[in-house]
Every structure is written in C-alpha cells, then in structure tokens.
Amino acid sequence: MRIVLAFVFLLVLPLAAHADSSFLDIQEVTSPGGIKAWLVEDHSVPVVSMKFGFKGAGAKLDPADKQGLSRMLSNTMDEGAGDLDSQEFQRHLLELSISISFSSDRDNFTGSLYTLTRNSEVAYELLGDALSVPRFDAEPVERMKRANQSRIRSALSNPDWIAARLMNDMAYEGHVYAQNSGGTLSSLESITPDDLRRLHKSSLGKNNLVVAVSGDITKEDLGTALDQIFSRLPEASLPEEPARIDIQNQGQTALYKKDIPQTIIEMIQPGIGRDDPDYQTAQVMNFILGSSGFGSRLTNEIREKRGLTYGVYSYIMDYEYTNGIGVSTSTKNESVSEILGILKQEWETMKTKPVSQQELETAKSYLIGSLPISLSSTNSIAGLLLSLQLDEMPIDYLDDREKKIKAVTPEDVQSIAMRLLDMNKMTTILVGQPEGITADKTIETLPNVE
C-alpha cells in the first residue's frame, strides 16, 4: 500500500506544483463559526469538490491487535448516519449523484465530497451527519470486514502488493509504520462497532481539521456550508505522537520466493523531508534520476537501451515520522542482478558528475509547467490544496516552490545527490525467483497479513 501511496503522492504533488497566482487563486475562508478552508472558486462547471483531512488521525493510531481500525472507520462512516441506515443513506447519495467517501493513510484521515451545485444543500447535510452522527450498525461493519478480508486475500496473489507489504515490515521495523494499515485477516475480525465509535469520537475533531474546496461556490456560501458540515464536531484528543524512525535494515536484502517468471524489486534508503530547504533540489534530482519515466536516466538505461523492464521509477516519500528515496521495478528472474548493478552505477554517476544543462532545464520546465495540466478538474485542485495543508505548507507555497526550482544549478543537484544517495543504505525486497542473488534473509511467511 505504501508504494501505491508514494506514487499517488508523486503524481499529485511534485507534478502538481506551481501555477502563477493568477491561474490558481487560493482564497482563505473562515466561516462565521470559525472553521477555516482554502478555496479556489471556479464556476465553469456546476459542481463542487470538497476535500478535508483530520491531521494525525491515520493508521498510526491503530493498536497492533486492531490493525486496519482506521481503514475500517473510513469504510463505515458513509454507511448510515442519524436516522438513515446504510441502505437509506446510500440511496440518498445515489439519487442525487452525490459522492461522499472517506479514506485513511498512515498519518491522516481524509474525506471528500463531490456534488452537483444544485444538490449541494442535501450533500452538506448528509456529509455533516456522516461526520457527526455515524451509526456504525453491525451489518455494515461486518460487511466491510468481509470486504477488507477479501481484498487482502486477493492481494496475496499480487507480487507487487507482497513486496510493498514486506518493505513496510523491513523498512519500519519496530515502528507503528510497520503495521498493515489495511488490517490483517485476524485483526479485522476483532474490530467492533464500539472500537469504531471510540476512534471516531477521539480522533476526528475541529482542532485537527483542514478543508480544501474547489468549484462552483462563493466564499460566502462556503462559510455557511462549513458551519453546516463541521460545527458539530468535538475537539479531538490524540495520543502522544510516535517517535521518528530512520529506514531500518539498511544494506539488507530480503527474498520472498514465489513461483513467477518476473521478480519484483523494491528498494528504499533514507530520504529528505518537505520541510528541508533542499527538498525542491532533491525533487529535481529525482526527476532526472528516475521519477519522470520516459527520459529519466533509469528508464533510459534499463528499459530503452537494454529492454530489461516495462517500468522503473524512483520516488521521494515523505511521511510525518520518516522519509525515504525508493526505487520500484520488475524484470525477468534472470536479469535481477543486472538491474541491481545498473541502479548502483546510476546512483554513483549522479554523485560523481554534474547533470547536463539540458537535463536540468527539462526537469525545471516539467516540474513547473506540468502543474496547470494536472489541475484541470475541481477534484485535482481540491486534492492539491488539501495535501498542502496536511503538510502544513504556507498558502504561497506554490510560488515559493517555483522560485526554488528555477534557482537550482547542476552543482546543487550534485551536492544533494552526494548528501542523500547511498546504495549501501538500501533496504531491498525481492519477490520472485531471482537468479544469481544471495539474499541476507529469506522470508517464509508474510508478516501482518494473517
């Protein structure tokens, strides 16, 4: 799941970024009741997209024996509220084509509302009820357990999922991040409606709420809507924060043997946080190295020149309590050691030689210019505004980001590469039957699945 999230982050954030302020005019709105939101007004299509998050209310709150609790909360909050049971609640949404959904990642609990303007009144009412008076009836809770268990059993035939699961276990060993945020087959079984009620009451409050809105709504109407939706929330009381953790098992390679023709390769080493002054420089380096797909050095060397893979990507992931630089790829079993050799070489080249002016210019143009392209729907705009707030970025972050990217020099890229890149610190997971590889350990049973 982590890898998936990392990619989503890649697509939504780094690609997303910039905009001259005339293009993305972010307004800060405060409701009469004191609820704050960021708004980008856009009346071109009669729809409203609202995304909100509860900071710190993600899967990191899950007790070890109730892994998946936060995920289950996200699955059940739209399954009945107030006087409406699950089927009635869903029927109201469906009849007016309103989408309400919740989701949970390691750090945060988030939700979204997408509605036609003409149905927005009912939409706000239903969302307000889902947030404040969710029912957690036994039937939907059981049903969502079954759905999650089925998802896990299906994922067990997906080697990418297995690799990601093992990476979480190895890279964050001993930390709450090593848990399975989607739950385990047995932990899900033990979750009760009361567990969900407790988590809901303690973790979703006005004090850890952030809201982002885009679409066909004015500042004034949003003010009213914010109170209507969120004013009934209590104050959240979150437990003490977990400690920071560096990538664990550095330099170790773990193998999970599976009778498949292609080996999945996942690697991760310590990285850089968004609050670091050199974060944008690291993004430029990562683009040139491997995040950009076609045109990146890794894709050139591994796919274009040698035909060894269908896809190879590097990424920067930044969670609240850790960060890393990772690589994901896959190749036929006999080519695994060749790919690992090329990765090592590219890591060195990035450190020993400055990038070319042309590589740098392409990276800058893309990182700055692709933002408006990725912001062509109300959902993508609201999604960007939400992630900026969850990461506690200032409202002018996009302008600052553009300035920083423009200022990056080849020397800056080389020095961040020297600071960050280190193949010897890689934690490596292989799933398949790689040839010519000596793993430090062979994993027989998947942790945090059963």
Partner 1 sequence: MNQKRFLLALLIFLLWQTPGVAQQVKTDNKVFNAEHFTLDNGLEIIVIPNHRAPVVTHMVWYRVGAADEPSGKSGIAHFLEHLMFKGSAVIGGKDLAAGEFSKKIKSLGGQDNAFTSQDYTAYYQSVAAEHLETVMRMEAGRMRGLKMAREDVESERNVILEERRQRTENNPAARLDEEMSAALFVNHPYGTPVIGWYHEMEKLSWEDARNFYDKWYAPNNAILVVSGDVSGEQVWELAKKIYGKIKKHDVPKRSRTTIPPFEAPKTVTLTDPVVRQPVIQKLYRVPSYRQNSGESLFLETLVEIMSGGPTSRLYKALVVEQKIASSASMGYRSNVWDDAELVISATPNPGYTVEDVEKALMEQIDILLDEGVSDDETVSAISRMQSSAIYARDSLQGPAMTFGGALTTGSKISDIEYWPQIIAHISNFDVNAVAQKYLSTESKDAAPPVTGYLLPPAQEPQENSDQSTGETE
Distance in angstroms (rounded) separating the CA atoms of residues 377 and 45 = 10
Does position 309 interact with partner 1 (CB under 8 A)? The reply is yes
Task: CB nearer to partner 1: give 117 or 252.
Answer: 117
Cα-Cα-Cα-Cα torsion 249, 254, 256, 259, nearest 10 degrees, comes to 150
Indicate which single residue of 34, 63, 133, 158 sits in contact with partner 1 (rule: CB under 8 A). Answer: 158
**CB of residue 92 vs partner 1: minimum separation in angstroms?**
10
Site for partner 1 in 214-243 (CB under 8 A): 215
**CB of residue 228 vs partner 1: minimum separation in angstroms?**
22
Tokens describing residue 105:
């990642």
Indicate which single residue of 1, 5, 156, 238 sits in contact with partner 1 (rule: CB under 8 A). Answer: 156
Query: What's the chain's length in residues?
Result: 450
**CB of residue 300 vs partner 1: minimum separation in angstroms?**
7
Indicate which single residue of 255, 272, 308, 443 sits in contact with partner 1 (rule: CB under 8 A). Answer: 308
352: nearest Cα among 295, 421, 277: 421
Indicate which single residue of 16, 17, 26, 47 sits in contact with partner 1 (rule: CB under 8 A). Answer: 47
Binding range to partner 1, per CB under 8 A, among 151-159, 204-212, 226-234, 408-416 = 151-159
Q: How far, CA to CA in Å, does 268 sit from each of 6, 184, 314, 318, 387?
A: 12, 24, 9, 12, 23
Does position 332 interact with partner 1 (CB under 8 A)? The reply is yes
Site for partner 1 in 5-34 (CB under 8 A): 15, 23
Phi/psi class of residue 226: alpha, beta or left (left: φ > 0; alpha: ψ in -120 to 50)?
A: alpha
Tokens describing residue 26:
């972010």
Q: How far, CA to CA in Å, does 84 sit from each of 87, 98, 109, 126?
A: 8, 16, 23, 10
Distance in angstroms (rounded) separating the CA atoms of residues 314 and 299 = 10
Handedness of CA 215, 219, 225, 226 (dihedral sign): positive
Indicate which single residue of 44, 424, 438, 445 sits in contact with partner 1 (rule: CB under 8 A). Answer: 44
**Contact between residue 215 and residue 378 where contact means Cβ atoms under 8 Å apart:** yes
Residue with tokens 């109730």: 66
Task: CB nearer to partner 1: give 196 or 382.
Answer: 382
Does position 90 interact with partner 1 (CB under 8 A)? The reply is yes
Residues within the interface to partner 1 (CB under 8 A): 15, 23, 42, 44-47, 49, 86-87, 90-91, 93-97, 114, 116, 139, 142-143, 146-147, 149-150, 153-154, 156-159, 215, 258-262, 292-295, 300, 303-311, 330-332, 358, 361-362, 365-366, 368-370, 372-373, 375-379
